[in-house]
Structures are given as structure tokens and as C-alpha cells.
Chains A and B, each alone.
Chain A
Amino acid sequence: MKNKFQKLLKEKDFVFLDGAMGTMIQAKGIKIGEMPEILSLTEPESIMEIHRAYIDAGSDIVYANTFGANRYKLEGSGYTVNDIIPKAIENAQKAAEGTNALVALDIGPIGVLLEPTGTLPFEEAYDIYKEEILAGKDADIIVFETMTDLYEVRAAVLAARENSDKPILVTMTFEENMRTFTGCSPEAMALTLSDFGVDAIGVNCSLGPDALAPIVERMSKYTSLPLIIKPNAGLPDPATGKYDVSPDDFSSQLLNMTGLGIKFVGGCCGTTPDFIRSTVEKLKKATYTPQKSQKLSAVCSAVNTLIIDRPRIIGERINPTGKKRFKQALLENDMDYIISQAIEQVGGGAEILDVNVGLPNIDEKEMMVKAVKAIQSVVDVPLQLDSTIPEVLEAGLRVYNGKPIINSVNGEEKSLETILPLAKKYGAMIIGLTIDKDGIPPKAEQRFKIAEKIAKAALDIGIPKENICIDCLCLTASAEQAAVMETVNAIEMVKKELKVKTVLGVSNISFGLPARELINSTFLTVAMTKGLDLAIINPNVASMTGAIKAYRLLANQDVNSEDFIATYSEASAPTQNTAPQTAEHTLSYAIEKGMKNEAALITEKLLTEISAMEIINEHIIPALDKIGSEFEKGKIFLPQLILSANVSQQAFEVIKKELVKSDNAPVNKGKIVIATVKGDVHDIGKNIVKVLLENYGYDVIDLGKDVEYQAVVDAVKEHDCKLVGLSALMTTTLVSMEKTIALIRENGLDCKVMVGGAVLTEDYAEKIGADFYSKDAKESVDIAKRVLG
């Protein structure tokens, strides 16, 4: 298969794709809203006619009529994926008989949104695509088009690569704001897919050729893959459905774009064989010119792209080493804590986050997957997956959205053999540590040797140079003072001779010394002058982030000092600097008035005077009770109630830290499992309840949204819970609530169930077997007090 495709690429300047299938089918009189894929079975001749018309017009590749033929979209149609896809491909092949045209298995989006915004798990998306790919095994090429979610694209491409050996083309659909509906940028698409085993990438649908040109141009700067363009015939008039670009204008506009590295050309909505004919005709005069690709070192999430063209900040805080509170969070599966660490570091200036969740007695692989998904649902910075275990890294790499960094491989054969292939397969950047079986060598030259070995091994298996990054490792200055400059010298050698990127974890240098910040920031500055590209630091320490920002200014990288001024000018100084340095008010007053910046300070001061339990029982809870009663009486409204709850949460976090530090058991008035029921994704109500319950010292086990019945039962058993809270926001999901309660009863669990949600009534709650109806978040606390005390 690959041979025919490669031949086509070699022999032709431009490879012509087909035009719209839907437009042609509609012209044949299919009813709007019906599934065109079914016509492959019911009217094969009509479909073949369309294919033939495109082949006659000059298409080298025709897309089989399989765009929406996935398990989800076919549900209820009476047909299966295996009914439709093989037949559709057969139709296209028959139409292509006697010509050189190739047939593509055409695959569009599933039609359901993936997690985290939607509910479809990445793994299930993979399965849906796998089914289509296996059903389409007779096609010559696999095409994914009209994609809007980079995460879905990754699932699709992995499914294609792992279940076939066909060439893969991917096009995504961008809007005028140069983003897809899910926020993916052309740069992020290009970076993510460039080393991800696909044959060409590009754009289709949404706009006409002219309007797509700037998007293709942006993409072309981030990839050396051949590019694809399949534009619409302009924009449709919603009232008439007519498109506004003629075949002649369409092809002229495309002709103007040939300098951008476009190799594959076709049409999408509104185009017909006339558009393709005109395009083939006009492009005869042009020659294919590959884009001048700059070899960029860059990483990305689906939304943010980060070029490593100056020292960049990697946040080191998502790592349990030496952190009791973090270890506790891992043991308790407390994703919220991990997320809070991510948010705090990004707020501090982190541009990439290192993610290390290694701890004995936990399933690190499962935790890595959970952590990557959770962090990516809340922050947009790229991640660096940190583990020495290949299985853990691979699990994280699969579910990561974008192009990540792998931390790390080292100079040992076993590590090179297992880790480097992962970087190659997933197109990730890779960090190589200058250590091998004999440990960290003392001299710069020796470390350079290991770096050289790693770089060579990486290049040998096809990892591009710009994806390689070397960590020359630093030892603590207190123990190995003479070695400090060896690290710095090694960085310089690696930069000069291997011409790859460098990275360094800086914080260890000062271990065991006083004034650690001073040592750290000075060492960091020295390393930057020798060419350090990535600094792994605690971004919440202002002097460290500051050293990097100042260096970028001085090195003329932060052009016009824009970033520096934006960060440090008085007007834009972070808000925490405006927090009062003294605690003027009582904790109760701060909570009642919702004074965000004071609670932590007051609590710290209170902790020197009275016990944690006293603070909770005598200050926090009475204040919350008062504000709760004002809410009930209609004196304040919901956002004010929550504002107060937020403030008391800040007080709680201070207390928790103190308790962990002093090895005291955390505050716990009893465990409560809460969940938004299966089928429902509206979980803001449940989350409000959670905040309030936690404020009263309950340990809330939050199962999230769209939760299986059995998952609730399992959690109640596991945690031996006496109270469960279920939320549903829609009439259609109340039945899930009823089923969940039934399953809890069936299992004979000794726990009470409270239910709440916008459409629920007290009568209905009773009817479905709930013990309590909670009309609002405040009442859930009253119920918890009754059940758990």
C-alpha cells in the first residue's frame, strides 16, 4: 500500500484529492439530516458515479463514503460499521477500476466530545477508531479529516498506526480565529503530529482557500511534512445554503498558495468535480516547493506552544520526594491537591510542569494517567513526564494531549533500549541524564561522553536532534564543591559540540547550606550564561523565576523587555503582594465578609495560640453557620455564600499543612462519597456541595461526573462511608439516580443517601428511595451533621 502512495508522491508535483461527497449527494436529492453513509448500501451506483466524476476531473485519491461511519453515529440506524465501511470501499475501488486513483478510508470525528470537557474516555475513542480502521483494511490510505480536537486526533492516529500499516493523512478544521472549536492551534497540531508517524497534515473545511492560507502558513513553520489543503467553496449563506466562491476563483486562490509547501490539494463542502478540474488545470503550471522548515525545539499542549529559544521554566513541585503533604495526596488519590500544585506553579511563572508521581505502594502507571489527564484539564502549559519506568512513561505518553518531554533516559544500555523507542514512537522531546552504571562521573569531559552516547543512540533510531535535551546533573555544593563547575563546563561542551538543548535541576545544589535561595539563583544564572535552556526549579520562589526573567532581558531574548515589564511593573504585580501583612480582622469576620487575602494569615497566627480543632469548631464553623443562615433567610445570595466558603477553605488548607507537618491525623468528621450520576455532565452543583462539606471538616470523596452506578457502590464499600450524595441536573438523568440508589440498597450497604439537583423535588426524592432531599448546598451540610455528627 505504502508503495503506491510513495510512487504517487514522487511522480507528481501535486496530489489531487476529491471534492465534497455531501454536496454531491445532496444534489442527488437525499433528505437533509440523513446519514449519507447508508447510501453506500442502498444506492451504490449513485456513490460510484460521484467517485467516477471526481476521478475524471483529475483526483488521484478519492475518499470513500465512510466519514461518519462510526459505532456512535450509526447507533439506531440499523447498520453496523462492518456493514458500511467494506461496502463503501468496494464502491470506491470499483469506480477507480482501470485508473491509477487510490482509495482512502475517510474518517471524521466521532461526534462526541472527549474528556475532559466531554465525557468520552480517550481509551474508548481509540476503540471506536480501531473498529473503523479494521473494517477499512482494503483501502490504500487512511484519512482523518474535519477534526477539531487534537486529543481525538491522537487517539485516531494511534489506532491507525497500531492496527494497520497504511499511509495516514490528517486534516483539522480551523475557524477564522485560527483555532479549532476546542482551541487547538495550527502550531500545536503541526508539532504534535510531525514526529507522530503520519505522512501529511493540513486543513480542510470551514473556509475558502484564501481564508485558509494564513492557517497553512502558520502550520508550515512548525513541520517539514507535506501539507494538505481541502477548502470549502467559500462560506455558505445560511438562508440559502449557497457557497460564494466559483471554481475559477477557487483554483486561482490555490495557485497563489503553492509556495507554502502544499502537496495535496482538494475541496470540501460546496465543491464539485468542476472545482477539482479547474484546480488540476491551473496547478499544472506550478511546481511543488517544500516549505523551508526551521528545525525548532518546541513542546506544546493542544492550546499552548512553547519554543525553547531562551531559558524556560520547568516547575518541579509535582513530585512527592521529600514532601509529606504530596505523598499523602497520592496515597489518598487526591487529584485536587495535585491540580492545586499545578495551578500555583503556573501562577508563579512555570512554562512547563514536571510530573512525577512515583511512590511505593501505589500503582504508578495508573496514577500517571490520572495525573496527566487531571492536570491537562485545568492548565494549558506543556508537561514533562517524569519516571524511570518505561511502562509508566508510555501510559502517560498515550493520554497526553500535545507534544511532551520525557524525563528521562540515561547512558545505561537498558535505559537507552527501553526509553528512546518511546520518545520516537510518541514524537516527544527526550531528556538524557549524564549518568550510567558507574554513577555520575566527576569530570565534565566524562559527562560529555555519556551525553554524546545518548545523543548518538537517539539520532540512530530516528529521533531528530531538536528533540534531544541533555541534563549534565548537579551534585550538592556542600558535599562536592569542586564538582559544581564541572556541571557548568559540561553544559557548555554539550551546547557547543552536540548542539542539542540542555536542562538542569537546580535546587539540589544548595542542599545542606544556609541561604539556599541565594546559592540556587546564583548557580542558575551561571548555568544560563553557559547555555542552559531548561531550568527545573520551584517557580513559586520569586528570586528563581526572577533570575530567569532578568537573564532573558539581559540576553536580548525578551525583546523590548516586554515580558519583564509585564511581570514586574507595579501595575501588574501579582495580587498576593497586595495581601495585608498583618491580620487585622478576626477569622470569623474575614469568612463572613469573604475577605480572600486575610484568612490564611489570620489562621497562621491563630495556630500559634490555639489548637487546630479549636479554630475549626470555634471560629470557622460558627462563621459558616451564620452565613448559611443568612443565605437561608434570603439576606445574601449564592455567590456570597460560596465566597465565604472559599475563604474558610483557605484557612483549612493552612490547618491541613500544619497537621501534616506535626504528624497529626488530618481533620476528619467522617467520609462522604459524592457523585454526579451516570449520563450527566453538569457537575457545578455537586462541586458547590463539596466545597461546603469540606469546610465543615468532612472528608469528601468526589467521584466526579457521569459516574457508573457500580463505581458509587465500590467507593462506599472501599471507604466504609455512611453517607452518599448524588446529584442530577436533568430530567433525563434522574433515572440514573434511581438506579444508583437501587444498587446501593441491593448491596445492602449501611449508608444513607442524600440527593439534590435542579429538577429534583422532595416527593421524587422519596419515590426513588433516597433518605434525604437536599434543596441546596447549605442543606447538604445540615444533613451531614445529622448523619455523621
Chain B
Amino acid sequence: MEIDINIAEAMRYMGYKEGMDAQNIIEDIEECKKVLLDTIKPAYTYKIFDIEIADNIKILGTNARFEGKDIKEHLKGCKKVVLLCATLSLFADKLINRLQYRDMAKAVITDALASAGIEAVCNKAEEDISKKISPLNMTFRFSPGYGDFPLSTQESFIKVTNSEKLIGLTLYNGMLIPTKSVTAVIGLCEEKPPAPKRGCAVCNLKDSCQYRRKGLHCEK
């Protein structure tokens, strides 16, 4: 699978702001991007389920249940969901780990590029899924950990998509391994869903965002 990584987005993750002089580092960033793209084997897998919305959300045909008011709000009006698991592969982790011994600056750069990269994989997955589910419409991606949707729900994604076997995505102590990975639910509905409310609560980087810790926002 071919993806591209948006350098401007990755640089934002690194803490870059407009007006900074990035001249002595930009070459390294370009080089790291090339190496990362040559190294990783991005992959995703998904499954589509009917759902039943009651007190919680039942994923029919499985034991999985989604709890929380935010996910309920998100899937309002949906009859089906896509459970998506995506990863940049273990090769991303290995590369970042190894760079930490060789060149820490490149490790930090590659780490941010990989964060942007996994978003690109998810976008690609969405594109492919949207072709298969027509005429239904898709909500935006919603991941365990967003709002009050418990992080522990990750386990259901791993189990029902068989992600360990299909794309090598595992869960250990609540951590996705490979670490540059995403689990997300996409609702399928007949009506066009409202435009996504973008914000920190629904961002995969919310736990490590430098802006957020300083009480600021990125330009997204």
C-alpha cells in the first residue's frame, strides 16, 4: 500500500510554528520521510457489523459493546458500523528505536512523521471503504479514548477484526503494538452525517500534543 506523508502536518507535531527558521533541519526531515516510507509496510483491516443502539451499543454477532454518551451521539441514526484497525507496521517502531541510538534528532523527526503517516493510512482506508458501502454515508473516524469512549474498547476492535493475524496489530497492557497504529469506528447511515466537530477530544495526538499542554491549539 502506498501512502504519502504531509510534511507540514508532521512538522506541526514536532512543535514547528510559522516564522521559525527550520533551514538547518529541513533536509533531515525530507530524508527521514523517504527512509520511513521505504521501511514501513502499512496495512489496515476492517469489518462491517449491524448495530443495535439501546443503553449501550451492541455490535451484533459479537460480544462487543460500546459504552459512553459520546459514541452514542456519534453513531446516532446509524444501522451499521465499520470497525477499522490500521498500522504502520512494526518496522516503524524498529526504525524509530534504532534511530534513537544513531541520531536522536532523526528519531524525533521520524516519530512525528510516523504519527502523520498513520493518519494517512486511515484516510486511505476510508477512501477504500467508502467505495464499498455506497450508497450509505460515513461518519468520521471515532477512536477509543476520544471523549468518554473508553480506551479499553480497543480490545474489542483487536478481537473482532482478528487484527493480530491479519495485520500484526496486538494489544499489550492497553497499548497498541506496533505503536503507530489506530483503532477507529466509522458509522454508516442513510442520511449524510453532520460535518465532524474537529477538536482536541477527537484527535489521536491529544495525549502527546505539545500545544495542548501549553493550553494552545494547532492550526488544524
Chain A residues in contact with chain B, CB under 8 A? Answer: 31-34, 109, 111-113, 116-119, 146, 148, 173, 175, 177, 179, 181-183, 205, 238-239, 241, 269, 336, 339-340, 343, 377-378, 593-594, 634-640, 642-643, 645-646, 679-682, 684, 687-688, 691, 729-733, 758-759, 761, 775
Q: Taking the complex as formed, is B147 at the interface, i.e. its CB lies under 8 A from any CB of chain A?
A: no
CA A348 to CA B93, docked complex, whole Å: 25
A637 touches B17 (CB 8 A): yes
- Cβ of B111: which chain A residues have Cβ within 8 Å of it? 684
Q: Taking the complex as formed, is B91 at the interface, i.e. its CB lies under 8 A from any CB of chain A?
A: yes
Q: Max chain B CB contacts within 10 Å: which of A593, A691, A758?
A: A758
Given contacts A340-B101, A343-B102, contact A112 B159 (CB under 8 A): no
A113 touches B63 (CB 8 A): no
CA A691 to CA B173, docked complex, whole Å: 28
Interface residue SS majority, chain A: loop
- Cβ of A759: which chain B residues have Cβ within 8 Å of it? 207-208
Q: Taking the complex as formed, is B164 at the interface, i.e. its CB lies under 8 A from any CB of chain A?
A: yes
Q: Taking the complex as formed, is B37 at the interface, i.e. its CB lies under 8 A from any CB of chain A?
A: no
- Cβ of A340: which chain B residues have Cβ within 8 Å of it? 101
Minimum CB–CB distance from A585 to chain B (whole Å) comes to 13
Known contacts A343-B101, A691-B104; 10 further A-B pairs (Cβ under 8 A): A33-B160, A111-B170, A119-B172, A182-B90, A639-B108, A640-B24, A642-B105, A646-B105, A681-B179, A729-B208
CA A525 to CA B43, docked complex, whole Å: 48
B108 touches A181 (CB 8 A): no
CA A628 to CA B80, docked complex, whole Å: 52
A643 touches B105 (CB 8 A): yes
- Cβ of B132: which chain A residues have Cβ within 8 Å of it? 239
- Cβ of B77: which chain A residues have Cβ within 8 Å of it? none
Minimum CB–CB distance from A589 to chain B (whole Å) comes to 12
Partner of A688, one of B22, B41, B108: B108
B177 touches A758 (CB 8 A): no
Q: Which 7 A-B pairs have the closest CB atoms?
A: A181-B168, A33-B159, A758-B208, A637-B15, A33-B160, A643-B105, A642-B105
Minimum CB–CB distance from B12 to chain A (whole Å) comes to 10
A684 touches B90 (CB 8 A): no
Q: Taking the complex as formed, is B204 at the interface, i.e. its CB lies under 8 A from any CB of chain A?
A: no
Instruction: Select the stretch in B44-52, B68-76, B116-124, B189-197 that faces chain A.
Output: B44-52
CA A105 to CA B159, docked complex, whole Å: 23
Q: Taking the complex as formed, is B25 at the interface, i.e. its CB lies under 8 A from any CB of chain A?
A: yes
- Cβ of B94: which chain A residues have Cβ within 8 Å of it? 117, 183
Q: Taking the complex as formed, is B56 at the interface, i.e. its CB lies under 8 A from any CB of chain A?
A: no
A339 touches B20 (CB 8 A): no
A146 touches B165 (CB 8 A): yes
- Cβ of A113: which chain B residues have Cβ within 8 Å of it? 90, 170, 172, 177
In the complex, residue of chain A having the shortest beta-carbon distance to the beta carbon of B155: A33
Contact count A vs B, C-beta below 8 Å: 153
In the complex, residue of chain B having the shortest beta-carbon distance to the beta carbon of A687: B100
A639 touches B105 (CB 8 A): yes
- Cβ of A119: which chain B residues have Cβ within 8 Å of it? 172
Minimum CB–CB distance from B166 to chain A (whole Å) comes to 8
Given contacts A112-B172, A639-B109, A688-B104, contact A238 B45 (CB under 8 A): yes
Contact with A along B52-65 (1 / 0, CB 8 A): 00000000011110
Q: Taking the complex as formed, is B175 at the interface, i.e. its CB lies under 8 A from any CB of chain A?
A: yes
Given contacts A183-B91, A636-B21, A681-B179, contact A33 B14 (CB under 8 A): no
Partner of B207, one of A146, A378, A688, A758: A758
CA A553 to CA B212, docked complex, whole Å: 58
CA A761 to CA B212, docked complex, whole Å: 11
Give me 27 A-to-B residue pairs in the complex whose CB atoms sit less than 8 angstroms apart, sorted by A's number.
A112-B170, A112-B172, A113-B90, A113-B177, A118-B177, A119-B172, A148-B168, A181-B168, A183-B91, A378-B97, A593-B24, A594-B24, A594-B25, A634-B17, A637-B14, A637-B20, A642-B104, A643-B25, A645-B104, A645-B105, A680-B175, A681-B172, A730-B175, A732-B151, A732-B174, A758-B208, A761-B213
Minimum CB–CB distance from B155 to chain A (whole Å) comes to 9
CA A374 to CA B27, docked complex, whole Å: 30
Minimum CB–CB distance from A241 to chain B (whole Å) comes to 7
CA A635 to CA B63, docked complex, whole Å: 52
A775 touches B213 (CB 8 A): yes
B98 touches A643 (CB 8 A): no
- Cβ of B100: which chain A residues have Cβ within 8 Å of it? 684, 687
CA A19 to CA B209, docked complex, whole Å: 48
Q: Max chain B CB contacts within 10 Å: which of A111, A205, A238?
A: A238
Contact with A along B185-220 (1 / 0, CB 8 A): 000000000000000000000011110010000000
Minimum CB–CB distance from A207 to chain B (whole Å) comes to 12
Partner of B104, one of A111, A177, A205, A646: A646
CA A326 to CA B167, docked complex, whole Å: 42
- Cβ of A148: which chain B residues have Cβ within 8 Å of it? 168
- Cβ of A635: which chain B residues have Cβ within 8 Å of it? 20-21
Given contacts A32-B160, A639-B28, contact A681 B208 (CB under 8 A): no
B61 touches A32 (CB 8 A): yes
Given contacts A181-B89, A238-B46, A758-B207, contact A642 B97 (CB under 8 A): no
- Cβ of A175: which chain B residues have Cβ within 8 Å of it? 41
A183 touches B90 (CB 8 A): yes
B97 touches A640 (CB 8 A): no
Minimum CB–CB distance from A739 to chain B (whole Å) comes to 14
CA A177 to CA B108, docked complex, whole Å: 28
B62 touches A31 (CB 8 A): yes
B177 touches A681 (CB 8 A): yes
- Cβ of B90: which chain A residues have Cβ within 8 Å of it? 113, 117, 181-183
CA A263 to CA B202, docked complex, whole Å: 53
Partner of B101, one of A182, A241, A339, A593: A339
- Cβ of B41: which chain A residues have Cβ within 8 Å of it? 175, 177, 179
B159 touches A643 (CB 8 A): no
- Cβ of B91: which chain A residues have Cβ within 8 Å of it? 183
CA A645 to CA B64, docked complex, whole Å: 48
CA A340 to CA B24, docked complex, whole Å: 25
CB under 8 Å from chain A, chain B span 129-188: 132-133, 151, 156, 159-160, 164-165, 167-168, 170, 172-175, 177, 179
Minimum CB–CB distance from B146 to chain A (whole Å) comes to 13
In the complex, residue of chain A having the shortest beta-carbon distance to the beta carbon of B45: A238
